[in-house]
Amino acid sequence: MSDDFDQFIADVRATLRPGSGPVELEGVRQRLAKLLANSAFVQRTCGPDATGGLHCLHVDDELGFEVLAHVNEKARKSPPHDHGESWAIYGQAIGYTDMTEYRRVDDGGNPEQAKLEQTRRYRLNPGEVGVFAGTAIHAIDYPDKSRFIRITGTNLDAIERVAFDEQTGRIKRMGAQQAT
């Protein structure tokens, strides 16, 4: 297809395998960066005429990964959260997203309460792609009209994930597509 998405899916399928690790995820990261350089794809999925909201572009029946377009209209700041056991790859299409990464500095023994420490902050600009390994804690913060493509290792609605209150450290279970 002219906008490269079908070839992108074929390439991702050829890169991933069950239990994919950093090498495979880096391959997908680089391939997503190449897709985001395709303006026909960016305009179709995330351009001014794209319908706002969360759009599933691909669910892979065999390998389980999903590709979603987040066509955001309004600014949003997420709480720190994880993706359970799933990895996630975020590729910025339009605007920017500020990413913050955290680590737990408590012993992890209390299911209700955690102590987090920021480890890294950076901005994803158009064409830039960030990778989060499974269970990596992160938060996102974006302005109006920020739009990005997210690939997850599995359907996040089907697995247990948690979010953290940044002030109190209180842990809460997350619902379907509640945070990104």
Q: Which is nearer to Fe ion, 107 or 176 (CB)?
A: 176
What is the nearest approach in angstroms of Fe ion to the Cβ of residue 101?
Answer: 11
CA–CA distance, 32 with 19 (Å, rounded to integer): 19
Assigned token pair, 108:
């992890």
The DSSP-derived string for 3-62 is TSHHHHHHHHHHH--TT--HHHHHHHHHHHHHHHT-HHHHHHHHSTTSPSEEEEEEE-TT
Is residue 69 within 8 A of residue 126, CB to CB? The reply is no
The stretch among 22-30, 46-54, 153-161, 172-180 that binds Fe ion (CB under 5 A) is 172-180
Q: Which is nearer to Fe ion, 105 or 133 (CB)?
A: 133
- Pattern 116-155, binding to Fe ion, x per CB under 5 A? ----------------------------------------
Residue least distant from Fe ion (Cβ): 180
Residues in the interface with Fe ion (CB under 5 A) total: 1
Residues 6+ apart with CB under 8 A from 39: none
What is the nearest approach in angstroms of Fe ion to the Cβ of residue 138?
Answer: 6
Residues lying near Fe ion in the complex (CB under 5 A): 180
